[in-house]
Amino acid sequence: MVVVNSGEGPHGSGRYGAGERNRAETTIGSELTGGPSARGAPHREPPSAREDDEDPEDPETSPSPAPSASPPPDPPDPVDVAFASVGVGTCLNVFDDGWGKLNQERPVAVDCGAGFAFSKVTVVTTSASNCPGGAGRWGWGHVNDDGSTVALCLDRVFTTGQCFPATLSKQADGSLHGEGRLFSVWGCDRTQVPKGQNAIMAITAVLNGGSCPRRTDRQTLSWQVFNGAATVCAVQRTN
């Protein structure tokens, strides 16, 4: 209870004012269990949750990571592309270099009428073992980057005036027998031949039938090519 002392002078309003202040303070103080020290801590409602205060680990509210960019695919192997671009009937500047291997690493199409069109694709298959054999033919196999395989079956394009290396041996009757590297192309003006060969043969005719024309100065030799479908006639080149 607040007791007002009204006997302290005629101007009790000042004291009363103080009593009002004290009463107000006492009233406030009586509402707080902490006494006078709690008067400076006004009662507040707990703060409401905000979107900013949400748990960052909450999968429903955490932002999804941006998807990483996929690396660009590797460019196709140019040799794979070269083999894939060749079809039946394509002419190539490809031949045996004289040592049992081809002069090119990849097929490049050329004009079939050109003087350097030395072979023609007859079959495209998956393995060189599928290619037809015989003199004047070659199976050119290739393994692609993805593990698939391709093979080009080639027929040599023979032309009068071309040369190839051969091994000649004299028979008992004085005639010559020759084993030629018929898929090879050799410079007619060269002075050396691959190891194991001893002659350069110059083509004088390519026949689909009949006999090779004879010469009086040199013996003409003949080779059956493409399993007998054609005959190559040639004489030994002399200096």
Residues 158-174: pLDDT tens digits? Answer: 999 999 999 999 999 98
Positive or negative CA dihedral for 205, 235, 239, 159? positive
Number of alpha carbons in the 13 Å side-chain half-sphere of residue 227: 5
The residue with greater pLDDT, 4 or 110, is 110
Token pair in block for residue 71: 């690396």
Residue 32, pLDDT score: 36
What value does the mean pLDDT take over residues 117-141?
A: 97
How far apart, in Å, are the Cα atoms of 129 and each of 98, 138, 155?
Answer: 21, 10, 15
pTM: 0.69
Residue 177, pLDDT score: 93
How far apart, in Å, are the Cα atoms of 72 and each of 69, 75, 76, 177?
Answer: 9, 9, 12, 60
Positive or negative CA dihedral for 44, 48, 50, 55? positive
Residue 62, pLDDT score: 62
Residue 180, pLDDT score: 95
Q: Where are the domains of the chain?
A: 78-156, 163-236
Per-residue model confidence as pLDDT tens digits over 74-107:
888 999 999 999 999 999 999 999 999 999 999 9
